[in-house]
Amino acid sequence: MKAKYEGSCPLCGRPIHVGDEVTRWHGRWVHATCVEDPVEVFLDAVREGRIYVSSRALKVTEKDGVRFPYAEGGVRDLLKTLDEKDLERVRKAAREVTE
Ligand SMILES: [Zn+2]
């Protein structure tokens, strides 16, 4: 459906404008195109600094001692939905960003 309000997409970190094609993804409005490969879109955003992830947002990585720059509201809930394979991809991207 088309967005009725301005907002921001928690997957890509870019603005959602009125009229953009959007869809629900784990309870949040995102760009329709961003759900085609949500993890890759999210990882690009982390790598490019559009989205920051904190160790608090991803408790699994706290145990591993992986450091993330800082938290971005909303991303927390998305990370909880990732499976182990995708979490590993997020950890790897975060290491690349923080090292
Ligand atoms: Zn998006």
pLDDT tens across 57-76, in order?
444 344 444 444 444 445 66
Average pLDDT, the chain: 72
Q: How many domains does the chain have?
A: 1
Is 2 within the bounds of a domain? no
Structure tokens at 19: 């009229």
Instruction: Please report, as a single letter, which amino acid is at residue 94.
Output: A
- Predicted confidence band of residue 85 (pLDDT cuts 50, 70, 90): confident
CA gyration radius, the chain: 13
CB 10 within 8 A of CB 30: yes
Kindly state whether residue 26 falls inside one of the protein's structural domains: yes
Statement: the pTM of the whole predicted model exceeds 0.85? no
Domain range for 56 is 7-98
Q: Beta strands 28-31 and 22-25: pairing type?
A: antiparallel
Confidence at residue 22, expressed as pLDDT on a 0 to 100 scale:
97
Q: How confident is the model at residue 27 (pLDDT cuts 50, 70, 90)?
A: confident
In a domain, 57, yes or no: yes
| Beta strands, E only, the chain | 7-8, 15-16, 22-25, 28-31
d(CA 87, CA 99): 18
Residue with the two structure tokens 């904190």 = 54
Query: What pLDDT is recorded for position 5?
Result: 94
CA of 30 to the centre of ligand 1 (A): 5
How remote is the CA of residue 89 from the centroid of ligand 1, in Å? 19
Dist. CA 94 → ligand 1 center (Å): 19
Dist. CA 22 → ligand 1 center (Å): 9
Q: How many angstroms separate the alpha carbon of residue 58 from the centre of ligand 1?
A: 20
Mean pLDDT of 15-36: 90
